[in-house]
A and B are shown apart, each in its own frame.
Chain A
């Protein structure tokens, strides 16, 4: 974990998750300022817009704009949900935020609740991280105790309460409407949109869902101003962002860096490629983002626009680094298996198509590929993309399309020779557990 930013900064104590520690770092100042100065909601949303903050959950949607969709004047309940489901392979940043700095998420959510007129929020925490869940509950208790949550926060007439919801570990529950279904106690299946959550969300009430890191960025924006946040990054890509770097690097971990930092710098921070091998490919934004060849990546800066121009997505900021010892067919087989297993099964193209994709990649990997299998993969992905209820269908297709596009030769070799282009011994060396 290392930070040149705001969320993971100054977390070197051993009780950084405690309220007292957070307050020492300037925590809850933003909230206190809002309450003391009675800052109007519009002004807060304006500040968030100005900051250029884009959703950290994957889609990169401008947060201020999303907040402005909430019908503030709508009578009755309105809800806020924080998406800490973090199930995307390669992504492990929200877990660290909640583990070391939970109060920044709580403060961010209280401010969001204030700005959008919500009285209640839920933090949906991934089902397989127990310690993080317990710690968040503790943080909530601290905040309630301190009058930061509940009725009449800090003596004002603003009330907001926040609850943690522990999921069961299904990837699909990270999709925002499946997440809402799950909170409602139903099977986690995405809803068809429209209607969007801002008009028909949790229990049918207007709801805003943001990622953990998105909320965690809010206190800074309010404390220091939207412009200050924007200035941390680059235009249209405000702020710093956490990148979960994994794969064939010497120092995998979370790195908080300004958006716009060159990929090469990030790679260096992560200790470079293991064993001095050559970079082969990078998935820059979590397993659903298209893979990019190493050379292309080396020319990119880590921000939404640059990665998108290169043909991929910044996504959740999970950077999966693959060196030359990687068999791309095997890598894709693993990814395809994930989506096949995680499809909710509701809509036809994803339910039927993810299994088909996996089986075709699986047979190629196992030397049973057929000459027209690459065309078949392209055609099946084309029939899934854009035809499903939620974006999991796209998420399952993009890796397949991009692997086949950029590493088609390797797939063709597999089909023709019924074995890997990368010799097994090389793969084995590359996959050895790394001992520093």
Chain B
């Protein structure tokens, strides 16, 4: 600890602290621009100059390490004189166009110039003009306003992991720019808007939509990935204008992914469903709630009477709230059926009934920083979990060694120590090899259930390297990615990965696909437990008579769109609760009930670490739409099911989680009763590897026009490794038909070294590929 005196206040700070950090702890505000607590120190703006005893000149607080006995004055005459001098320099070439600048009212330069700027400029020469840059569809530029603090440059390099911006040219000609003809394509790019202390980088979608002071700020939670980023939703006249991060060090820190930030642009499109609709005689008519609900109640009662309760099933989106999923399963179970699921893209359900709790990350998100070894199994990690990947990236800088086993790799923008790329059908064998290597090098004994599988494999170089890496760690984790969970041998992979974690003394976790991937289990939206029934896959393969779909667009959100369309087409009644009028469903749906997107409803998500995060509506209902929890509650009552008289969404939550409102840790578990594992057959044909691209993943993000204009939203290519291309006699750029057992898709081939041999990586959740049906399995590729 070091003693320091700041503005006459004594304090102790830890070794290595800077004067800026020390000042913050005593509440002394030191004006600054380039300093940011999450970025490296640049010390280039010079706004933070302070007076330090015995120093001949003012020193930058952000970069000056505290020494014992140091005395600092942040507002002495010398300090303020220096600060004012810097402010003058910053303003001489600044356009001072605050009235037409989007940053006006929330601009650090504007705010500080009130305190440190002069009333009149002494600079009467012509001001510098800097050309604007095209940074892509999300970030708008007015580079003449740039003060060259390089926060954006440091962000892309240090946090997003990829240098996409730099300061080109020298002196007064210095300019921040992307590489020639390149844009900023990081999935975290929107953060540079927040970081820019002036109006040089502003939000393109939000441009000129409102002034900062006209909007109210309301808290919310992102409904997209399993992290549950905390949001500030800015609202004017009951319309969402903008989304900003709400800082929460334990969750999203001060960042947001672009998906979290810009998905709101999809809220109020043309196809927003505003009135209940029913299909009568093949034609859709808009109607009132009473009529629509009567229709549904009559339909469900009739089907139950005619075909039995087990002919009714429900599928809920994992992006639904805890309360919605709970009420959905309550309705189904109230009707006497156990057919309910929210694990829409999963294919292996063989662990159902053998799970000890809701699968989760197995640790808190903030503990990632302390890991020293990590194995990621089956994940498109960077795009599936942008901010968790960001945390891993920071941990890698501090020595974390990451290994990954995947059928296809992208650049994760951090160094991977081991990268094992195998086809989907070889994944369990690959894990078994690592397990075997661990057994051979380790102390703990293998559980007998794995013996047969382990005996069937030979340890190879790569498996050994991964085992060595894990074995040499002290704080180890093994995570299952979304791909692994969705994999045809998902349960085997889960069992193997958890055994690898156990033998390496680490923790095992499941990253989770969506905002409520943990919550869905807690809500009981699974076909086991009290009343068991058919899972998401069985509900499609053995068709039911009635389906209730909550927040789902079957072609994009289900594991097998072809099977789904067949099942829904043959059903007597399909009820959709949706915020959007989904074109594709008009053919097979019978009722569409307009329910609220997350901005218009309250509820909670349980994130990957088991953290319950509740939120309130931030705007009023659109049209006649209603929060889904209310619709389901009314439906339950109208069906005469009893126990649906919840007064509020909080009461529903209390029913699920108990009075504490948080998840009882005992309900979280990745343990399953394992049955002996056997070697899986290795597929000989060409296998499909389907990723769910970041901006295709749920109905809301699919409707955000700016996000759909990003590089991440390009139409899927058939991505094939160079060697496999050769065997197939194909070239990048060829147009091909990809065929599966269920259908075909016409796409363009691209060469991708990251894809395992014998595989075609072809993204799902897109209109060009849903006709292929299942996310995995064998396909053929033919040039046209």
Task: Closest A residue to B88 by CB, please name it.
Answer: A383
Q: Cβ of B646 < 8 Å from any Cβ of A?
A: no
CB atoms of A356 and B92 under 8 A apart: yes
CB neighbours (8 Å) of B167 from chain A are 187, 345-346
* CB interface residues, A 358-412, toward B, < 8 Å: 359, 376, 382-383, 385-389
CB neighbours (8 Å) of B60 from chain A are 192
CB atoms of A346 and B148 under 8 A apart: yes
Q: Cβ of B170 < 8 Å from any Cβ of A?
A: yes
Chain A binder among B43-51, B383-391, B570-578, B749-757:
B43-51
Q: Cβ of A165 < 8 Å from any Cβ of B?
A: no
In angstroms, how far is the closest chain B Cβ from the Cβ of A335?
15
Give CA–CA (A346, B169) in the complex, Å: 10
Cβ contact of A352, chosen from B41, B82, B170, B172, cutoff 8 A: B172
Q: Cβ of B282 < 8 Å from any Cβ of A?
A: no
Q: Cβ of A194 < 8 Å from any Cβ of B?
A: yes
CB atoms of B174 and A351 under 8 A apart: yes
Q: Cβ of A340 < 8 Å from any Cβ of B?
A: yes
Given the known interface contacts A170-B170, A355-B171, A355-B172, the answer about A349 and B63 at a Cβ–Cβ threshold of 8 Å is no
CB atoms of A343 and B171 under 8 A apart: yes
* CB interface residues, A 327-353, toward B, < 8 Å: 340-353
CB neighbours (8 Å) of A353 from chain B are 89
CB atoms of A389 and B125 under 8 A apart: no
Q: Cβ of B56 < 8 Å from any Cβ of A?
A: yes
CB neighbours (8 Å) of B771 from chain A are none
Q: Digit string of B23-61 for contact with A (CB within 8 Å is 1, else 0)?
A: 000000000000000000111111101000000111010
Give CA–CA (A245, B739) in the complex, Å: 81
CB neighbours (8 Å) of A345 from chain B are 148, 167, 169-174
Q: Cβ of B679 < 8 Å from any Cβ of A?
A: no
CB atoms of A192 and B171 under 8 A apart: no
Give CA–CA (A386, B148) in the complex, Å: 20
Q: Is the interface of A mostly helix, strand, loop or mixed?
A: helix
Cβ contact of A340, chosen from B46, B82, B148, B171, cutoff 8 A: B171
CB atoms of A387 and B170 under 8 A apart: no
Give CA–CA (A348, B85) in the complex, Å: 10
Give CA–CA (A172, B169) in the complex, Å: 13
Given the known interface contacts A356-B92, A387-B57, A387-B86, the answer about A347 and B171 at a Cβ–Cβ threshold of 8 Å is no
Cβ contact of B170, chosen from A194, A342, A382, cutoff 8 A: A342
Q: Cβ of A16 < 8 Å from any Cβ of B?
A: no
Q: Cβ of A101 < 8 Å from any Cβ of B?
A: no
* CB interface residues, B 120-137, toward A, < 8 Å: 122-123, 125
CB atoms of B86 and A349 under 8 A apart: yes
Given the known interface contacts A345-B173, A359-B125, A386-B56, the answer about A352 and B90 at a Cβ–Cβ threshold of 8 Å is yes
CB neighbours (8 Å) of A192 from chain B are 41-43, 60, 63
* CB interface residues, B 52-80, toward A, < 8 Å: 56-58, 60, 63, 65
CB neighbours (8 Å) of B56 from chain A are 386
Give CA–CA (A385, B92) in the complex, Å: 18
* CB interface residues, B 79-120, toward A, < 8 Å: 82, 85-86, 88-90, 92-93
In angstroms, how far is the closest chain B Cβ from the Cβ of A291?
23
Q: Is the interface of B mostly helix, strand, loop or mixed?
A: loop
Q: Cβ of B692 < 8 Å from any Cβ of A?
A: no
Q: Cβ of B147 < 8 Å from any Cβ of A?
A: yes
In angstroms, how far is the closest chain B Cβ from the Cβ of A352?
4
CB atoms of B65 and A351 under 8 A apart: no
Give CA–CA (A351, B45) in the complex, Å: 10
Task: Closest A residue to B171 by CB, please name it.
Answer: A343
Q: Cβ of A212 < 8 Å from any Cβ of B?
A: no
Task: Closest A residue to B57 by CB, please name it.
Answer: A386
CB neighbours (8 Å) of A51 from chain B are none
Given the known interface contacts A170-B170, A192-B60, A340-B171, the answer about A347 and B88 at a Cβ–Cβ threshold of 8 Å is no
Q: Cβ of A208 < 8 Å from any Cβ of B?
A: no
Q: Cβ of A159 < 8 Å from any Cβ of B?
A: no
Interface size class for chain B? Answer: 35 or more
Q: Cβ of A211 < 8 Å from any Cβ of B?
A: no
CB neighbours (8 Å) of A389 from chain B are 43-44, 46
CB neighbours (8 Å) of B82 from chain A are 383, 387
Task: Closest B residue to A339 by CB, please name it.
Answer: B171
Task: Closest B residue to A386 by CB, please name it.
Answer: B57
Q: Cβ of A240 < 8 Å from any Cβ of B?
A: no
In angstroms, how far is the closest chain B Cβ from the Cβ of A203?
16
In angstroms, how far is the closest chain A Cβ from the Cβ of B91?
9
Give CA–CA (A192, B60) in the complex, Å: 10
Give CA–CA (A342, B169) in the complex, Å: 10
Give CA–CA (A345, B90) in the complex, Å: 12
Cβ contact of A351, chosen from B58, B148, B166, cutoff 8 A: B148
Given the known interface contacts A192-B43, A386-B58, the answer about A348 and B90 at a Cβ–Cβ threshold of 8 Å is yes
CB atoms of A383 and B89 under 8 A apart: yes
Q: Cβ of A246 < 8 Å from any Cβ of B?
A: no
CB atoms of A347 and B172 under 8 A apart: no
Task: Closest A residue to B58 by CB, please name it.
Answer: A387
Give CA–CA (A354, B125) in the complex, Å: 13
Give CA–CA (A170, B173) in the complex, Å: 14
Cβ contact of B89, chosen from A340, A344, A346, A349, cutoff 8 A: A349
CB neighbours (8 Å) of A355 from chain B are 171-172
* CB interface residues, B 169-186, toward A, < 8 Å: 169-174
CB neighbours (8 Å) of B85 from chain A are 349, 382-383, 387
CB atoms of B173 and A348 under 8 A apart: no
CB neighbours (8 Å) of B148 from chain A are 345-346, 348, 351
Give CA–CA (A340, B173) in the complex, Å: 10
CB atoms of B122 and A387 under 8 A apart: no
Give CA–CA (A340, B44) in the complex, Å: 17
CB neighbours (8 Å) of A383 from chain B are 82, 85-86, 88-89
Give CA–CA (A5, B244) in the complex, Å: 68
CB neighbours (8 Å) of A351 from chain B are 89, 148, 171-172, 174
CB atoms of B86 and A356 under 8 A apart: no
CB neighbours (8 Å) of A388 from chain B are 46
Given the known interface contacts A343-B170, A354-B172, A386-B56, the answer about A348 and B86 at a Cβ–Cβ threshold of 8 Å is yes
Given the known interface contacts A345-B169, A387-B82, the answer about A352 and B89 at a Cβ–Cβ threshold of 8 Å is yes
CB atoms of B45 and A348 under 8 A apart: yes
Give CA–CA (A376, B41) in the complex, Å: 32
In angstroms, how far is the closest chain B Cβ from the Cβ of A365?
14
Give CA–CA (A84, B269) in the complex, Å: 64
Task: Closest B residue to A354 by CB, please name it.
Answer: B171
Interface centre among A170, A345, A352, A376 (most CB of B within 10 A): A352
Given the known interface contacts A192-B63, A352-B93, A356-B123, the answer about A347 and B170 at a Cβ–Cβ threshold of 8 Å is no
CB atoms of B172 and A340 under 8 A apart: yes
CB neighbours (8 Å) of A359 from chain B are 125
Task: Closest B residue to A172 by CB, please name it.
Answer: B170
CB neighbours (8 Å) of A340 from chain B are 171-172
In angstroms, how far is the closest chain A Cβ from the Cβ of B82?
6
In angstroms, how far is the closest chain B Cβ from the Cβ of A315?
19
Task: Closest B residue to A347 by CB, please name it.
Answer: B44
Give CA–CA (A386, B56) in the complex, Å: 9
* CB interface residues, A 156-188, toward B, < 8 Å: 170, 172, 187
Interface centre among A170, A194, A389 (most CB of B within 10 A): A389
Task: Closest A residue to B150 by CB, please name it.
Answer: A346
CB atoms of A352 and B92 under 8 A apart: yes
CB atoms of B170 and A348 under 8 A apart: no
Identify 16 residue pairs between A and B in the complex whose beta-carbon atoms are under 8 Å apart, listed by A's number: A192-B42, A343-B172, A345-B173, A346-B44, A347-B43, A348-B46, A349-B46, A349-B89, A351-B172, A351-B174, A352-B89, A355-B171, A356-B125, A376-B122, A387-B86, A389-B44
Chain B positions within 8 Å of A, measured between CB atoms, are 41-47, 49, 56-58, 60, 63, 65, 82, 85-86, 88-90, 92-93, 122-123, 125, 147-148, 166-167, 169-174
16 new A-B contacts, CB < 8 A, other than A352-B172, A355-B172, are A192-B41, A343-B170, A346-B44, A346-B167, A346-B174, A348-B147, A348-B148, A350-B171, A351-B171, A351-B172, A352-B92, A354-B172, A356-B123, A356-B125, A383-B86, A387-B49
- In the A-B complex, the 7 residue pairs with the closest CB atoms: A345-B174, A383-B85, A386-B57, A343-B171, A352-B89, A192-B43, A345-B171
